[in-house]
Structure 1
């Protein structure tokens, strides 16, 4: 019987699957893919403005409307959520967490900003509006986004009312929702979603083209 070089086959497969520039990465230990790279199975919401294409989820409002929201079908409480995103010039989007399927996720849940901070139209933003900020509640550190058009890597870790956000390897938020708002919110508005500890995770369209890939989650409530 002819011997088969198994290690060589495995190496060839790995090279093929994880070719540089393909956007594909080995799955992190304990994480589950939320996007299969082919279609929007497992997601609910606006599947007209959001589409699966070339291993990415692309929100494209086609020049009108906000693009709407696209949420995970399942709800999550404590989690580690990792994803990559690519901004277009002046792009504005958001990541909703602990959100219901109805209402403005920035208030009935929490919204984490996804934003091209370098655009001139955003020259006078409030501190809680820059990329990575918990909208209206917690400002993020600035200066860690890659140039527009390049892919960014982001990690969102939520445990109870605490949140940590890492952008391209740097921690830009490390705070507590309830502690940060105990004397009132930064935007002086009501945020009933701060009391929610479970809900959907989703992309919140604001009228601009943004691309997402390598979307995965680790449910921290499971041992």
Structure 2
């Protein structure tokens, strides 16, 4: 009887702990089901080169200075999982000379520190590329801003470079336009906060900026696409720059 009483008590404790964990997890979600990805105080839960990444005024900051110029693009990577289908919302501000991006469904490169290969929501200070879909270290540009695109497989197995021209994947069909280039660019604020919203479900990848759809990709290239992977943000090779991210939230679909 004593053993059964102890066993029952242990089960009750385990149930209580489990219930508390579920409750705590639910409390982290906002009313739309999004969970914050950083605490605004530390880099806990992220891995990157501290030379370039820090928390400042509650924001995740990536900065290149004249004394820390890069030879390869460098990422800070979220350690909380490898999302498959999800929505991501984040505010971003970048200096005029800056070049950054949000990588998703990505993988590490074992021979290059802090590098990722995979889909990227492009961001740059002059807003030439912001919102487009670029595959870092892969098939390069999949959709320019303003394009709705179907991505197709290469005609034959072989190196990716054979199907890339002018830094863009050539095996695509542009099925429609999302708006005039100048009109879409006018929706993006320079050197100010813009909201980036990614909707990634199945093989469809949509990039929104300030509520406006900027690129829409359906990736039918089964040999090269990724259906899940790492999430990270980038500082790009180039001149001194600063990029800031705040209010980063993720909702798994």
Among 228, 241, 246, the alignment partner of 1:198 is: 228
TM-score (norm 2): 0.62
Which residue is equivalent to 1:32?
Answer: 35
Q: How do 1:30-109 and structure 2 match up within 5 A?
A: 30-63=33-66, 64-66=68-70, 68-73=74-79, 74-102=81-109, 105=116, 108-109=117-118
Change (3 A) 1:86 1:153: same
Offset at 1:90?
2.0
Which residue is equivalent to 2:207?
Answer: 165
- Mapped partners of 2:252, 2:119: distance in 1: 18
CA-to-partner distance for each residue in 1:33-61, whole Å, 9 max, x for gaps? 00110011111122331101111001012
Ranges of 4+ aligned residues in structure 1 off by more than 4 Å: none
Offset at 1:99?
0.8
- Mapped partners of 1:217, 1:77: distance in 2: 11
Work out whether residues 99 and 123 of structure 2, in 8 Å CA contact, stay in contact via their aligned partners in 1: yes
Offset at 1:162?
0.2
Change (3 A) 1:53 1:34: same
Offset at 1:132?
1.3
Identify the structure with the greater strand proportion. 2
- Mapped partners of 1:144, 1:167: distance in 2: 11
Rg larger in structure: 2
Change (3 A) 1:206 1:28: farther
Work out whether residues 143 and 216 of structure 2, in 8 Å CA contact, stay in contact via their aligned partners in 1: no
Q: How do 1:8-23 and structure 2 match up within 5 A?
A: none
- Mapped partners of 2:200, 2:75: distance in 1: 21
Structure 1 gap ranges (5+): 1-25, 123-129, 183-191
User: SS at the partner of 1:143?
Assistant: helix
Match status 1:133 vs 2:132 = yes
- Mapped partners of 1:219, 1:59: distance in 2: 26
Offset at 1:29?
1.7
TM-score (norm 1): 0.70
> What RMSD over aligned residues (CA atoms) do the two structures have, in Å?
2.2
